[in-house]
Amino acid sequence: MGRVSGKVALVTGAASGIGRACAERLAAEGATVILTDLQDEAGAAVVEAIGAASGSARYLHQDVTDEAGWAQVIASIAAQEGRLDILVNNAGIGLGGSVIEMSLADFRRQMAVNVEGVFLGVKHAIPLMRKSGDGGSIINMSSVAGLKGAASLAGYCASKGAVRLFTKAVALECAAAQDRIRVNSVHPGIIETPIWDTIIGTGGPGANAGPQRAATLDAMANVAAALGHKGQPGDIADGVLWLASEESRYVTGAELVIDGGLTLR
Ligand code: NAD
């Protein structure tokens, strides 16, 4: 308990999946967590769950592609919490399909959420992080798809590869400024969350997303991951918690791969 006590954390895309698990883990370890997402009801439910577990959290509606919205979220944190120590740029979408069938609009939408959203988060959060003089930790959610290619995921791979190198460049900029802000990327493998429904088609109308998704991911992970099974959002949240805490104080610009050995071969 208390590994991030007294810290203020912002987690985007926190109404579901990995973001939700990160918000819950950070709150359980003592952080005050600001969750943002497009899904307001689900976001409110996460705040309620964190409160029921004696954690501290509040929810704000945010589209990470909207720069004015970023300014509002950061202004709200400056006014209410007065500081920002941890930013988890987690919100993301996955649009699968053949590259020759993908529309330019879908490609741009994926880049807007997965890359521009991360850029805007970093741009708007760093000035508030610097104000405290205590440094900070920025964690950008990439993917194993940012480390190696995947058929039918060209747009997604492009976006996650961009997050990987963007992270290293910002890490260098912060180090040069000696602001004690560390910037790292996290690379999940096959993790059981709703994002897969738009990649493997398990969430269509009438689809029994839960069981169908679980079975499909089981089969995929059995072949792809050295450990032979899929991961859960909590597996990623544990890594994010470590990067958010002082335990990783000498780590910046790194790639934390949490993939059950998917990238080993
Ligand atoms: P998810 O769909 O469960 O959660 C993503 C959340 O982001 C949703 O709550 C969604 O509403 C929110 N979101 C989408 N667009 C948004 C926007 N424009 N503004 C604000 N919020 C927005 O999926 P997840 O698996 O938990 O994904 C979280 C992150 O992890 C993503 O960046 C994803 O690419 C990455 N990732 C996931 C896996 C996996 O296997 N699940 C693997 C590698 C990387």
Res. 206: pLDDT tops 70: no
| Separation CA 140–CA 193 (nearest Å) | 18
| Separation CA 205–CA 24 (nearest Å) | 30
Res. 205: pLDDT tops 80: no
Gap from CA of 148 to ligand 1 centroid (Å): 19
Q: Which of 11, 20, 36, 193 to mutate to test the pocket of ligand 1 (most atoms within 8 A of CB)?
A: 193
Distances (CA, A) of 175 to 41, 135, 178, 251, 259: 39, 10, 5, 11, 28
Ligand 1 atom closest to 94 (CA): 34
Residue that is written with structure tokens 């544990």 in the block: 238
| Nearest Cα residue to 39 out of 23, 21, 16 | 16
Amino acid at 118: V
Residue of the nearest CA to atom 33 in ligand 1?
Answer: 92
Token pair belonging to 107: 């490609």
pLDDT of residue 210: 82
Residues with CB under 6 A from ligand 1: 12-13, 15-19, 37-39, 62-65, 90-94, 113, 141, 143, 188, 190-191, 193-195
Identify the residue with better confidence: 131 or 204.
131
Amino acid at 137: S
The arithmetic mean of pLDDT across residues 11-40, rounded, is 98
Domain boundaries, the chain: 8-189+233-259, 196-230
pLDDT of residue 204: 66
Residue that is written with structure tokens 């990995």 in the block: 18
Res. 26: pLDDT tops 90: yes
Res. 228: pLDDT tops 90: yes
Gap from CA of 232 to ligand 1 centroid (Å): 13
| Residues 18/41, Cβ–Cβ less than 8 Å | no
- The string of pLDDT tens digits covering residues 148-198 is 999 999 999 999 999 999 999 999 999 999 999 999 999 999 999 999 998
Report the catalytic residues: 156
Residue 221 phi, psi (nearest 5): -70, -30
Residue of the nearest CA to atom 32 in ligand 1?
Answer: 92
Look at the domain 8-189+233-259 and name its fold.
Rossmann fold (3.40.50)
Token pair belonging to 153: 């995921």
Token pair belonging to 223: 């072949």
The arithmetic mean of pLDDT across residues 246-250, rounded, is 98
Q: How many Å separate Cα 157 from the centre of its chain? A: 15
| Residues 153/220, Cβ–Cβ less than 8 Å | no
- The string of pLDDT tens digits covering residues 115-158 is 999 999 999 999 999 999 999 999 999 999 999 999 999 999 99
Q: Is residue 1 very low, low, confident or very high in pLDDT (cuts 50, 70, 90)?
A: confident
pTM: 0.98
Q: pLDDT averaged over the chain?
A: 96
Q: Which of 195, 217, 257 to mutate to test the pocket of ligand 1 (most atoms within 8 A of CB)?
A: 195
Share above pLDDT 90 across residues of the chain, in percent, rounded to a whole number: 93
pLDDT of residue 199: 87
